[in-house]
Amino acid sequence: MKSCWSYYLHSFKDIVSHESILTTLILSVLFYSFFYPTAYKAQTAESLPIIIVDEEQSNLSTRIIQKVQESPNVNVKAITGNFAEAKQWVESEQADGILLLPGNLSEAVLHGESGGIGLYLNAANFLATKQIGLGLAASVEQTLSDYIAQFEHISEFSPALSVHQIPLFNTLSGYGSYVFPAVAPLIIHQTILLGLSMLILMYRERKVELNRNAFIGICLAIFTIGCLGCLYLFGFTFWLFDYPRGGNFIGMLIAVPVFIYCIIGMTWLLASFLDMPERAGHVIVFTSIPLFLLSGIAWPHSSMPVWMQILAEILPSTQIVQMFIQLNQMGVPTALVVSKLIYLGVFGSLCFLLGYQRLIQLPKN
């Protein structure tokens, strides 16, 4: 009988010789490590098109327009005095928002009123809406503050105190540094799920008899690939694109083996129910997006129906994504993720036992 070491080395040989498995387990991780971050390299949306409706055409409205044009968040496509015309720009998707400066703006401000400034945004794109709102709010607030300062002896009105937002962990408030750290563990999750399933089912198609040593050797080979993939993403890729990283480095080193162990066990069990290598791809197609949505990153669990909250908590992917966000970005103490580590360890062990019984012991009997 071959030793575990022989099966370990032979597993790498089989992975490299099979293009689909090689692409899934190794090359796809390299591809996604550049594809995802490059798409969100700008971090925040910039130069978003807006229309300004200047009904007053006064010194104050001119100063507001000049200040808005200096904002990197927006790009003033046109200035008009007709609100209906501006609305047509938004409806034809040539602009994402309208800034309305009413005809009584100066008079209202001097009388201590808000001025009636209107901001109309196309909420079909939340990211664009947020950036336009931030850019316009800051510009208008600063201009009004400077304008009112000239008339302090006439009016007692003063704008509300500014509120400065200081993000704790995603310091750039960038979309890339928000979404990729959450997607990275799922990339490893799905590539192992697909690649290992294809490898196991390839052996089944070739009628290769798997024994205990083969089981251990294959697991160790995938464990090596998975751990190196995690260290590559959490280390090199996070550093290359300057994402928040290294919050709890020791905790991350402890969590990675537990994470990979759990996914390998889950894959052995899943593969025991599949009939051909291509079937694993079918599973990936309809699970990737739901797993991300249920992780609680795209939408908070507290706002989901109760049954979805329960389902999300059961899924290992939810524990994995949240655990690595806590360790890599937030730098929480390892003690705070021990419950997740125990859950993943127990879940993976149960899957290993069931998968081993179905794929190794039952065929022998």
Overall average pLDDT of the 260-278 stretch: 92
- Same domain for 270 and 329, yes or no, is yes
Whether 61 has a pLDDT exceeding 60, the answer reads: yes
Above pLDDT 90, what percent of the chain?
39
Give the lowest-confidence range in 51-55, 110-114, 156-160, 280-284.
156-160
Query: pTM of the full predicted structure?
Result: 0.79
Computed over every residue of the chain, the mean pLDDT equals 84
Mean pLDDT of 51-80: 83
160 within a domain of the structure (yes/no): no
Pair (27, 106) in one structural domain: no
Structure tokens at 13: 């040989």
Residues 213 and 319 grouped into a single domain: yes
8 A C-beta contact, residue 157 and residue 148: yes
Residues 6+ apart with CB under 8 A from 194: 24, 280, 281, 283, 284
Give the lowest-confidence range in 29-38, 106-115, 199-208, 280-289.
Answer: 106-115
Least confidently predicted of 48-62, 74-88, 158-172: 158-172
| Residues 248, 283 within the same domain | yes
Q: Residue 168 falls within a domain, yes or no?
A: no
- Computed from CA positions of residues 118, 121, 123, 127, in that sequence, does the dihedral angle turn out positive or negative? negative
* Residue 15 and residue 78 in one domain: no
Q: Taking 60 as the threshold, does the pLDDT of residue 217 lie above it?
A: yes
Q: CA-CA distances (angstroms) from residue 125 to 45, 76, 95, 194, 266?
A: 11, 18, 12, 33, 37
Is residue 165 situated within a structural domain? no
Coil, helix or strand at residue 154: coil
C-alpha 357: how far from its chain's center? 36
Confidence of residue 318 (pLDDT cuts 50, 70, 90): very high
CA distance 270 to 187: 18
* 136 or 351, greater pLDDT: 351
The answer to whether 186 and 317 have CB atoms below 8 angstroms apart is yes
| pLDDT(218) > 90 | yes
Do residues 203 and 91 both lie within one domain? no
| Same-domain status, 29 and 70 | no
Last residue of a domain, one of 149, 165, 191: 149
294 domain-assigned: yes
Q: Is residue 166 part of a domain?
A: no
Question: Does residue 60 fall inside a structural domain?
Answer: yes
- Max mean pLDDT among 33-37, 160-164, 175-179 falls in 33-37
**37 plus 99 within the same structural domain:** no
Number of domains in the chain: 2
**One domain for residues 52 and 37:** no
Amino acid letter, 152: E
Q: What residues pair up with 75 in beta bridges, in sequence order?
A: 49
User: Is a pLDDT exceeding 70 seen at residue 130?
Assistant: no
pLDDT tens readout for residues 337-363: 999 999 999 999 999 999 999 888 776
Do 257 and 130 belong together in one domain?
A: no
The answer to whether 180 and 172 are in contact (CB under 8 A) is: no
Q: 302 is in which domain, residue-wise?
A: 4-41+174-364
- Partners of residue 49 on adjacent β-strands: 75
Q: What is the DSSP string of 344-364?
A: HHHHHHHHHHHHHIIIIIHHH
Query: In the predicted model, what is the mean pLDDT of residues 38-53?
Result: 78
Domain annotation covers residue 169:
no
Alpha helix (H) residue ranges in the chain: 4-17, 19-22, 28-39, 59-69, 83-91, 105-110, 126-149, 176-205, 212-231, 238-240, 249-271, 277-294, 306-314, 316-324, 338-356, 362-364
31 has a pLDDT exceeding 60? yes
CATH number at residue 119: 3.40.1710.10
% of the chain beyond a pLDDT of 70: 83
- In the block, tokens 């990339």 appear at 187
Residue 152's pLDDT is 55
3-state class (DSSP) for residue 148: helix
- C-alpha–C-alpha distance, residues 102 and 118, integer Å: 8
Answer yes or no: do 207 and 312 share one domain. Answer: yes
Same domain, 242 and 349: yes
Whether 243 maps to a domain, the answer reads yes
Residue 161: its pLDDT value, please?
46
